[in-house]
Structure 1
Amino acid sequence: MTNLAVLFLLCIILTTHAAEFNKSCPTLSITHKKFKEEEILDVYQYGQNIYIENCSGVVHEETFLDIPRILRFMMYNSRFTSFDWTSLFRMSYLESIDILDVRGLPVLTNNIMLGFKSLKSFSIYDTDVTFQHDAFQRMKQLEYLSISKVDVTILGNGVFNGSRLKELYWTDSGIIKIDKNCFTPLKNIQIINLSGNKIEYLEPETFSGLKNLERLYLNRNNLATIQFRHFATLHSLTYLDVSKNKIPIVDVEEVWRNIPSLRKIILDRRSLPEGSRKNSLDRLDIMLV
């Protein structure tokens, strides 16, 4: 069989599969009425995923009443005059929620988050939503949490409690203070990214006891000093970024003594004395920015 014939046969097979896929992934249109004006919310369903994009209007308790088994819910660039979080509780198998550039969302409370019993991944970027301080406290199934450009000034004790969380990204949100026991319950955490906030000081206990933590991002904050001896219990830490802060000098020998597992550190060029570079480059990958 010639190459042209093989290519033609492959195109037929792919076209057939695409047609079958489209049949199994219908586009749904959910219509509801409010104040005698018909509002239409277009919901695109692909397999077990739902996409909502460029929408406005109202999402009420029964909006998703007839939606079949869904694992992932994504909502982008939308503006709502009213939004009921409990509408998503109908999706009892829901494992992932992604929200990007959405306005009109109400407060996320502990009780609301508890309604997502199967949720493993939760991402919010650039929205006007606010959180109760204990919103994620009982999210025992959550493994991935990403929050960015959502105004929060303090991460207090009780934000997390005994979760399965492995990756935490809370970036560019204006965090100034982290209470000393905020992360203590996160025994399974592997990545913490706090970059782009306004953190000025770290309590000695901030990361204490996080034995599974592998990567820590503290870059683009307002830290004037870091006591690396307080990282001595981070036995799995291999990657640390403390660049773009206000730290005048970093003693890499102290870093190495306290975090022997560390393989890479990212620093401001001005923070590393010339004499330290030659002695430590062969033991630790130092990236200067």
Structure 2
Amino acid sequence: MYRIVEKIMILFFIYFFIYTSTTENVSKRSCNIISGSSTLQCFGMYSEDFSKITFNEILENLECVRCNLGNIPPETFDFEDNHLFTLSLKSNNITGLVPFTFVGLDYLRKLDLSNNSIQIIIPGTFKGIKNVVIFNLKRNKIRRIEKNSFSELENLVHLDLSDNLIIDIYPGAFNNLNKLRLLELENNKLKILQDGFQFPSNIEELYLGNNVLNKLQNKFKINNLLKLYLSNNDISVIPKNYFSSVINLKEIYLNDNKIIELESNAFNDLKNLEILNLNNNTLKAIPFDLFSELLRLKYLDLSKNSLKIISLYTPLPELITVNFSHNYINKILIPTGNVAKLFNLNYLDLSHNNLSYLDYVELYQNAPKLILLNVNHNNLPCNTEKEMISYFPLDNFSLNIDNNASILCNVTKNSNIMNNLVEIEELITNHNGHNHVPFLYGLLIFVSVFILIIGLILYKTYVYVKRCKERDLTQLNETVTHHTAYESL
């Protein structure tokens, strides 16, 4: 024990020495070039210290570590021979930016201001860095995006404004961002978008998840949009033809909302859509023609809703994966005949529903490439498993059918007993026109409980007798041992 404590104390002192040494080095206001690179790393700097740095054409990256920059004044980075491509000021206690803060950084391509305390973006702040391509403002305290906040960044491709406190984006906030392809606005406080506001028309990926959007206005007139993330909001209704202005869309994520209704043709004109995620909403029904134009759909997730009936009548020739799990489905409408409406379907999840019957023959004819079928936690009778195993080819097919209603299996296994009970019930019911079935069931329950009690008593008695015999045998062995020892003396 002493050695263990001694080792722990030694490790503690080593850690303390390393930590204090590092803290002392970091606390020193210094800049050093990282060996073998073109990166200048500065420690403990203040905004006014940058004017003292001597730059040359070799340096391409500037990184500040544990600096205390506060409110950065104008022209802080305007010094001679400045050819910086990357400027990382993340986690440096920046509280504010003013116009002309970054003048002099003509070659800058990447700017990282994440994890600071910036509250507002003043128009004109980014004059002089029009060549920036990637701009990270994640994890700040920005509440509003004013008009022309980023208008100087005409070559910007990726803008990250996630994890802020944004409640309003004013019309014209993204003016002049004609090259923007990726806009991240997730984890903010957006509830509604201002009248007159439009997203840049060339965006390809738009992240609006984890906000409080409760109403979808027609703001997505984005011809090049490919991916739209609207998960974890308060959306309740998807209007008809809502996405008709984003016809090139390939992925829509509407999971974890409060959607109770999908209007007919809500996804009309989305002929290029490949992924549709509606997981964890409150849908009770889906329109018959909802997916009629989604001929390229590959992945469909409708799990964790309140659906009771689903239809597989809509031809979806490229669909590969469908998830209907965790609903209340008790009926599946499957077209008859060898029509193969789901020709490429590989994975179908129907687990955690209320299915008591599944026409697997017609299902397989409509989905001949099915390789995984999950029907766990349903009400299917146990003979279904045996029938399906014998029907499907085992070399390339996997069936999950565990944890179905055990009482149905017991009924199936004891069908003869049930038939006899039915005959007895009919006989007693017809005798003198009186129904004695309740009495019979009560008698059966009484007899069953009586037999269970007798069995329990017999078992307890057996255990008691066995323990007594073992105890007597042990005492006898001890007596013989003592006697033998006494005689030997």
Give the alignment's TM-score, normalised by structure 1: 0.78
Q: How does 1:1-289 map to 2 (within 5 A)?
A: 12-13=35-36, 15-16=37-38, 20-22=60-62, 23-26=84-87, 30-31=97-98, 40-41=120-121, 48-52=133-137, 53-80=139-166, 82-104=168-190, 106-107=192-193, 112-113=197-198, 115-136=199-220, 138-161=221-244, 163-228=247-312, 230-231=313-314, 233-247=315-329, 248-249=354-355, 250-270=358-378, 273-275=384-386, 277-278=388-389, 279-280=391-392, 282=394, 284-286=397-399
Name the CA shift for 1:193/1:268 in 2 (closer, same or farther; >3 Å).
farther
SS of 2:188 mapped into structure 1: strand
Residue pair 1:237, 1:261 contacting (<8 A) in 2 also:
no
| Corresponding letter in the other structure for 1:49 | I
Residue pair 1:241, 1:265 contacting (<8 A) in 2 also:
no
Structure 1 residue 89: Cα displacement: 2.4
1:35-60 per-position Cα deviation (integer Å, ceiling 9, x unaligned): xxx95559999952222222134421
Name the CA shift for 1:266/1:72 in 2 (closer, same or farther; >3 Å).
farther
Paired residues in the alignment total 268
Name the CA shift for 1:139/1:68 in 2 (closer, same or farther; >3 Å).
closer
Query: Which deviates more, 206-215 or 273-282?
Result: 273-282
Give the alignment's TM-score, normalised by structure 2: 0.49
1:115-148 per-position Cα deviation (integer Å, ceiling 9, x unaligned): 4110111111211234444333x32211111111
Query: Which deviates more, 169-178 or 122-131?
Result: 122-131
| Corresponding letter in the other structure for 2:86 | C
| Corresponding letter in the other structure for 2:317 | H
- Which residue number corresponds to residue 3 of structure 1? none
Higher strand share: 1
The CA RMSD measured in Å over matched residues stands at 3.3
Residue pair 1:173, 1:196 contacting (<8 A) in 2 also:
yes
Greater Rg over alpha carbons, structure: 2
The 1-side partners of 2:154 and 2:325 are apart by: 47
| Corresponding letter in the other structure for 1:25 | T
Name the CA shift for 1:108/1:224 in 2 (closer, same or farther; >3 Å).
farther
Structure 1 residue 75: Cα displacement: 1.5
Name the CA shift for 1:104/1:156 in 2 (closer, same or farther; >3 Å).
closer
The 1-side partners of 2:203 and 2:401 are apart by: 39
Residue pair 2:156, 2:180 contacting (<8 A) in 1 also:
yes
Name the CA shift for 1:70/1:80 in 2 (closer, same or farther; >3 Å).
same
| Corresponding letter in the other structure for 1:280 | F
The 1-side partners of 2:179 and 2:401 are apart by: 45
Name the CA shift for 1:68/1:30 in 2 (closer, same or farther; >3 Å).
farther
Residue pair 2:60, 2:85 contacting (<8 A) in 1 also:
yes
Structure 1 residue 88: Cα displacement: 1.4
The 2-side partners of 1:85 and 1:251 are apart by: 54
Residue pair 1:166, 1:189 contacting (<8 A) in 2 also:
yes
Name the CA shift for 1:102/1:134 in 2 (closer, same or farther; >3 Å).
same
Residue pair 2:144, 2:167 contacting (<8 A) in 1 also:
yes
The 1-side partners of 2:146 and 2:286 are apart by: 42
The 1-side partners of 2:132 and 2:374 are apart by: 42
Residue pair 1:100, 1:124 contacting (<8 A) in 2 also:
yes
The 2-side partners of 1:40 and 1:71 are apart by: 21
The 2-side partners of 1:105 and 1:245 are apart by: 29
Name the CA shift for 1:85/1:148 in 2 (closer, same or farther; >3 Å).
farther
Structure 1 residue 87: Cα displacement: 1.2
RCO greater where, 1 or 2, for CA within 8 Å and sep 6 or more?
1
Structure 1 residue 174: Cα displacement: 0.9
Name the CA shift for 1:203/1:65 in 2 (closer, same or farther; >3 Å).
closer
Name the CA shift for 1:264/1:17 in 2 (closer, same or farther; >3 Å).
farther
| Corresponding letter in the other structure for 1:244 | H
SS of 1:50 mapped into structure 2: strand
Residue pair 1:147, 1:169 contacting (<8 A) in 2 also:
yes
The 2-side partners of 1:49 and 1:84 are apart by: 22
SS of 1:168 mapped into structure 2: strand
| Corresponding letter in the other structure for 2:385 | E
The 1-side partners of 2:302 and 2:379 are apart by: 15
Residue pair 1:252, 1:280 contacting (<8 A) in 2 also:
no
SS of 2:38 mapped into structure 1: helix
Structure 1 residue 112: Cα displacement: 2.9
